[in-house]
Structure 1
Amino acid sequence: MLQRIQQLPRGQRLLIFALIFGGGLFVLVALTVLLIRGTLTPGVRSMGQSLSADITVNQFAVLPDDDAYPAALAVAADGRVYTGSYKTGKLWVITPKGEVSPVATKGEALKAITGLAIAPDGTLYIVDQTDADPRTDGGNVKRMTADGTVSIFAKITDAKGFISPDDVTLDAAGNVYVSDRARAEVWRFNKDGISGLAWWTPPKLDGVSQYAPTGLAYDASRNAIVITDSTNDTVYRVPVDAPDKSELLYWHKGRANPPGFDGLTVTPQGVIYLAALGQRGIARLDGETLTYIAGLFRGPSDVDYAAPDKLYVTNWDQFSLAVSASKPSLPFALDVIHFVDLTVTPTP
């Protein structure tokens, strides 16, 4: 057969070579895709696991949709938990017993929820990127009142506007803080959504040119905003009244196993818990050390504290948003960490 091919005209030989090469390449690509799907798409969502004898980890609530992709959550004063879909913009409220109900909204549509915060009066603040495609830019901050009315709360009015807004929190005075990773800024708005200003930018670090303030949480014990940077794996504490005096609490700085910080929460005693998205874990900041208390979540992008003894964790499973060959491991769910021993190491 080889001799017959060699006797053919050059053009036909090239065509046969192209068909053989192309077919072989197609087979290799197909096998690679199948391997990726098999590796990244287990039949059942893996469960979070405790890494400490002082806690337990359990599934808290299963979300009803196959495209829920919960990127954020927030715990209300009455113990109810709010979460929303990054893919569809649907919003759910969950009782402390894990009973899930859709939130009926009216007014402005919600499209791609990345951040949630609840004011003492029950008003819900929502960071909406408006498009789940990770290649797109834009977004805004919306506000939902008790009757479910959603309205645009705040925008940045310069030519760039919000580029990649991520998280939101409030201080004791009701000011609203919003991070924008692409602008490398944290913006502050008053309770009416006006008087917006670029309140904080990360201080320069040696050898660092890119910054991405991401997660936000209010530290009531110090009247400060605690901020993560997902690009540099840093954690800052910034006084509300003195943003120029920020304190660098942690910098992973090139060490192995980068945490990939995302959301975070601060207890009333000032203890900081961090969602380490890159390590699929939840960590406590103990001085200059990260102590992992739980792991093996499916994309822990956010964590929030519920008094007196719980942390709620999202399972975002975000990888399948960017890689079409990967499918989420269903069902989408939130997990709960329960502290058996309330003795913790305070974050200084």
Structure 2
Amino acid sequence: MKYSWATFTAVLGTILCLGAAAAGAAPDEGTIDVYGTPVRVAIAADGTAYLGNYGQGGGIFVVPSGATTPSRTISTGGHVTTGLALGPDGTLYVATAEGDQSALGVIPAGAANVERTIPISPGLHALAAGPDGTVYVANPAGNTVSVIAPNGTAVDRTIAVGAGPAEIAVTTKDGTAFVTNQTAGSVSVIPAGADAVSKTIELVSDTGTSEQPHGIAAGPDGTVYVANIASNDIAVIKPGADAVADRIYVEGGPQDVAVARDGSVYVTSLLTQKLSVIRPHAKEAGGSIPTDAGPGHLAVAPDGSVIVISPGTSPGDGAVVRYSAAALVAASQGSTPAASGAPTAAAPAETAPEAAAQPSGGSWNALPAVAGGVAAVVVGVAVWILVNGRRRKAGLAAGTSRAD
């Protein structure tokens, strides 16, 4: 399905403004103060959160466990951040873009700067890291995924996937990579060490259109969860399966997803501006918590809290909010807390292994989706407005899928 991107940007801006006016602001008690355009989040095993900045100057905000402000900023040489992933040894990988140049920066654990860079194709890239340190790079413009071997200095191989690769999740159980192809409406499965996709799992409607699979996350048992924007559900793919096993309804264009160690699933929805909670083995969402406007990426911390990023619609108005474990437990029981405080040790869920090895949830550069009823409702991430404008000015080539 093809879209007019100029029209899409205009429609998206209108929807976001209306949504922001209609929805209440997220609770302030768990707010992490950053100035910029946060678009990515990854959380280390010690609870340190890394927040990628697409705003002017780029960089990565480093927020210690429980803190409400960054302790420092890791420079990306003035280049904007488009992707983040944490390797099993604590190495932080960052995808950056500047004009028609993109690179993968390598930051060893504890380092203050990018130690070295690896050239990658132009564009905006989602990243994921496997349990052995293999790094996967989504290339939306080329409908491929680049693979960088552990400690590699260049792209090792490039694998063709479906149209519009948006996000990648890698299981810690066997290192299998799963790629959401948003335009094609499918998930590509790449076994560890493979040179090609082993199978494709279809996510299309009865009319043959894409369900807009976007965010993806793998649970500790190898179960994979896919956020489908257009069909308003989370598709559940069991280990080794060739098709979707279950679907869990989540209203409002579910876009990004994360999984905790205990199997709890957390989902952000753009139109309803909420964080939904699905308890382990549940067949439906237990409840939700209001978020700031335009919620996108999210990650689970070791203490059971969840950090949600809302990129905002203009430089400096992005939001980062931490929702406590206690608030999440209350939401899972069907009640919506009036506020979400700072992290607490109550009912800890702990970080899923994937949260420390790859970005949790889905990408901030969602494609539009169609909701039910007579009219079509376009959904996406607020920061797309900024991304689209920057990319046009920089002269980046447009991809066939335009998922980036």
TM-score, normalising length: structure 2: 0.56
- How far apart, CA to CA, are the structure 1 residues paired with 2:63 and 2:23? 20
Residues 132-211 of structure 1 aligned to structure 2 (within 5 Å): 137-145=100-108, 146-156=110-120, 162-202=121-161, 211=163
Specify every segment of 5 or more residues in structure 2 that has no aligned partner in the other structure, as ranges: 1-9, 238-244, 251-266, 274-292, 333-348, 350-404
- How far apart, CA to CA, are the structure 2 residues paired with 1:257 and 1:312? 32
- How far apart, CA to CA, are the structure 2 residues paired with 1:221 and 1:253? 30
Residues 334-345 of structure 1 aligned to structure 2 (within 5 Å): 334-336=321-323, 338=325, 340=329
User: Is 2:149–2:156's contact at 8 Å kept on the other side of the alignment?
Assistant: no
- Greater gyration radius: 1
Task: Quickly say closer, same or farther: Cα 1:310–1:244, change in 2 above 3 A.
Answer: farther
Number of the residue aligned with 2:247: 289
Aligned mate of 1:90, from 53, 59, 68: 59
Residue identity matched to 2:319: F
Task: State the 1:180 CA deviation.
Answer: 0.9
Task: Quickly say closer, same or farther: Cα 1:121–1:103, change in 2 above 3 A.
Answer: farther
Residue identity matched to 1:202: V
Task: Quickly say closer, same or farther: Cα 1:259–1:192, change in 2 above 3 A.
Answer: same
Q: Secondary structure at the match of 2:196?
A: helix
Is 2:241 aligned against 1:272?
Answer: no
Aligned mate of 2:34, from 57, 64, 71: 64
Number of the residue aligned with 1:222: 174
User: Is 1:264–1:304's contact at 8 Å kept on the other side of the alignment?
Assistant: no
Number of the residue aligned with 1:51: none
Number of the residue aligned with 1:116: 84
Cα deviations across residues 301-337 of structure 1 (Å, max 9, x unaligned)?
A: 43334457454432224xx3xxxxxx58945224548
Task: State the 1:125 CA deviation.
Answer: 0.4
Specify every segment of 5 or more residues in structure 1 that has no aligned partner in the other structure, as ranges: 1-31, 49-56, 132-136, 157-161, 204-210, 321-326, 343-348
User: Is 2:128–2:137's contact at 8 Å kept on the other side of the alignment?
Assistant: yes
Indicate the structure with greater strand content: 1
Number of the residue aligned with 2:311: 316
- How far apart, CA to CA, are the structure 2 residues paired with 1:114 and 1:280? 26
Residue identity matched to 2:148: F
- How far apart, CA to CA, are the structure 2 residues paired with 1:195 and 1:274? 30
Residue identity matched to 1:235: V
Residue identity matched to 1:197: D
Residue identity matched to 2:165: P
Residues 25-44 of structure 1 aligned to structure 2 (within 5 Å): 36=14, 39-40=17-18, 42=20
Q: Secondary structure at the match of 1:150?
A: coil
Task: Quickly say closer, same or farther: Cα 1:306–1:212, change in 2 above 3 A.
Answer: same
Task: State the 1:129 CA deviation.
Answer: 2.0
Residue identity matched to 2:170: Y
Task: State the 1:268 CA deviation.
Answer: 1.7
Alpha-carbon RMSD across the aligned residues, in angstroms, is 3.9
- How far apart, CA to CA, are the structure 2 residues paired with 1:176 and 1:196? 9
Q: Secondary structure at the match of 1:166?
A: coil
- How far apart, CA to CA, are the structure 1 residues paired with 2:323 and 2:196? 36
Task: Quickly say closer, same or farther: Cα 1:290–1:104, change in 2 above 3 A.
Answer: same
Q: Secondary structure at the match of 2:73?
A: coil
- How far apart, CA to CA, are the structure 2 residues paired with 1:281 and 1:70? 25
Number of the residue aligned with 1:125: 93
Q: Secondary structure at the match of 1:236?
A: strand
User: Is 2:30–2:68's contact at 8 Å kept on the other side of the alignment?
Assistant: no
- How far apart, CA to CA, are the structure 2 residues paired with 1:280 and 1:110? 38
User: Is 1:129–1:140's contact at 8 Å kept on the other side of the alignment?
Assistant: yes
Residue identity matched to 1:180: N
- How far apart, CA to CA, are the structure 2 residues paired with 1:38 and 1:265? 26
Cα deviations across residues 245-290 of structure 1 (Å, max 9, x unaligned)?
A: 53334413476996644443322222434456x5798946362525
Task: State the 1:236 CA deviation.
Answer: 2.8
Aligned length: 273
Is 2:315 aligned against 1:333?
Answer: no
- How far apart, CA to CA, are the structure 1 residues paired with 2:136 and 2:28? 31
Task: Quickly say closer, same or farther: Cα 1:167–1:254, change in 2 above 3 A.
Answer: farther
Residue identity matched to 1:214: A
Is 2:35 aligned against 1:77?
Answer: no
- How far apart, CA to CA, are the structure 2 residues paired with 1:181 and 1:245? 16
Task: State the 1:212 CA deviation.
Answer: 1.7
Percent sequence identity over matched residues? 19
Q: Secondary structure at the match of 1:127?
A: strand
